[in-house]
Structures are given as C-alpha cells and as structure tokens.
Amino acid sequence: MGHFPPRGAGHRPAHTARHYTMAWQRIRHMTLKKLHPWKVAPAEAREIQENLRARWEGEDRLPQIKTIAGLDAAFVLTGSQALKKKVSHWNALRDANRAIGGVVIFSFPELVAIERAQAIVPLEFPYVPGFLSFREIPALLAALEKLKKMPDLLFCDGQGYAHPRRMGLATHFGILLDRPTIGCAKSILIGTHGKLASKAGSWTPLIDVNTSQETIGAALRTRDSVKPVYISQGHRVSLQTAIQLTLQVCDGVRIPRPTREADKFVAEVKRNS
C-alpha cells in the first residue's frame, strides 16, 4: 500500500527527456488494419489480444508531457448486443447500431481544456465481456483523427493491464498508437485488493490471485473517504507513474477530470445525435 499527495501537494514524477516528434499525419495512418482486422469473431479477437501482448511496454517511455487527453465512448443501440446461439455476428449488428467516440484535450499541468473532437461510426463488434476495445477503439480513433495535434498522454475510461489477458482498452489502444496510455476504471474487472486508507492519494495494489499474486493495477483514493478508482497501466508507463499522473489530473472529484469530461462530452453528443 502507498500514498501520494493530491495534485499540487507534491512534486511531479520524473519524465524522460526524450521527445517523440513523429508527425500526426504518420500516426493517423497507422491504423488498426495493419495489426489486425476489425470484423472478427470473439475467438479471433481473443487470439489478437494474446498476440498483442508481445508489444506491450510496462515501463516509462514518456515524452515531455504538455498535453493530455481524456477519452470515452457511448453507444446508440437499437437491438440486442448479446451474442446468442444461432445468431450470426452480422445479424446481431443489423439494426444500425453506432459507437460514439469522444476526446477532450487539456494543457498539462494546468488542465485547461483546449480542444475536443467526436466521431460516430457503425458499431462493428457485439457486446462480449473482455472485448470492450473492439467496440470502442474504432470510434476513438476516428475522433483522434480530427484533432490538430496528437496528445502526449491519453487517459482511457476503462481497464488497461487489469484485464484477464492483460489487454484492456487502454493497453490495446496504446499499443496501436504507440503512445503512453493509462486505464482509469470506475469498477474492478478482475483482481482483489486489501484495505485502503481513507485519505486522498492513498492506494493499494490490485492483485490477480489466479496468477501467482501478480500486481495488475491499483485501487486509488482520489478524494477523502470516497470509493476508489482503479488505475492500471495502459502502455509505455509504469504503475507508479500512472498513479502519480492520475493524481495530478484530479480536481477534488472522485473521477479524474480527463475521463470525467470525456464522459460528459460523449453523453452530450449522444443526446443530440
């Protein structure tokens, strides 16, 4: 168990001095199709997740962080998204379901909102537990392509390494973009944790008891005496740094500001769509 001070109360984590200056034009053409297709069955999706694990980086490889992004997705559904026996993948999606992707960019560390973008795309993958990234990433990529400049760090509303195959949304997305990402979830997908102190900044490891007690994330108290959020590494960031950076983007509310604002944004888009 550990404790870090809330935003503004302590020092910033050390970052590498290296700057990554890959042009955004190059990034936007590095599409998912080059790594794997979208239209796959759950069994193939599982294989894709397992293969992508070889690309995962769990240590800090960060640029100088000047901008951060919060990302979230919502869905417009007109039919059942559950996979049922004798119902094909395409029939489950036949009712023109759509995915809404939203991104909100902030300056860092000031947290001034400077840009936002949204996209609505056909929903290509049905609801199957453990495969959220296949539903959300196409819409999130489409939203990112509308930005003037790629953010230095991305906070995703969902799991990262804290996933049965260690390939949650934040991890999958970070690997595709080769960008640092952090998973910030409201609830636990897998794992357990011990007692957590009530003070903001307190945290305790999230442990997968089925894999030799591996630490897969952290339960983090972002506000005194409120329910924790669940932080896990996405890509190119250590767990300690992920915790510190998350606290730096908290502003007295349980949910960190980047993902909270992204959630509000996509909800607004959904209401107006």
pLDDT of residue 124: 85
Residues 201-210: tens digit of each pLDDT: 999 999 999 8
pLDDT of residue 81: 54
All domains of the chain, ordered by start, with CATH? 2-272 (3.30.2170.10)
Helix (H) / strand (E) containing 44: helix 42-52
Q: Is the pLDDT of residue 10 over 50?
A: no
pLDDT of residue 210: 87
pLDDT bracket for residue 38 (50, 70, 90)? confident
Q: Is the pLDDT of residue 1 over 70?
A: no
Residues 170-206: tens digit of each pLDDT: 999 999 999 999 999 999 999 999 999 999 999 999 9
The CA-atom distances, in angstroms, between 154 and each of 114, 158, 203, 235 are 15, 12, 21, 10
Residues 134-163: tens digit of each pLDDT: 999 999 999 999 999 999 999 999 999 999
pLDDT of residue 211: 80
pLDDT of residue 22: 38
Residues 70, 72, 74: CA angle, nearest 5 degrees: 160
Average pLDDT of the residues in 89-107: 77
C-alpha 129: how far from chain center: 16
Q: Is the pLDDT of residue 48 over 70?
A: yes
pLDDT of residue 119: 97
Kindly state the DSSP code that residue 245 receives in the 8-state scheme: H
What percent of the chain clears pLDDT 70, i.e. is strictly above it?
A: 81
Average pLDDT of the residues in 87-107: 75
91 vs 215 pLDDT, higher one? 215
pLDDT of residue 184: 98
Q: Is the pLDDT of residue 15 over 60?
A: no
Q: Is the pLDDT of residue 12 over 50?
A: no
- Which segments within the chain are labelled E, that is strand? 2-3, 67-76, 98-107, 113-122, 153-156, 181-185, 202-208, 214-220, 229-235
CB 208 within 8 A of CB 214: yes
Instruction: Please name the residue ranges forming H helices in 104-233.
Output: 132-144, 169-177
pLDDT of residue 217: 98
Q: What is the mean pLDDT of the chain?
A: 86
Q: Is the pLDDT of residue 76 over 60?
A: yes
Of 237, 241, 257, the C-alpha closest to 249 is 257
126 vs 101 pLDDT, higher one? 101
Average pLDDT of the residues in 115-138: 94
The order of strands in the sheet holding 214-220 is 2-3, 202-208, 214-220, 229-235, 181-185, 153-156, 67-76, 98-107, 113-122
Residues 219-261: tens digit of each pLDDT: 999 999 999 999 999 999 999 999 999 999 999 999 999 999 9
Which residues does residue 76 pair with via DSSP β-bridges, in sequence order?
Answer: 98
Average pLDDT of the residues in 162-168: 97
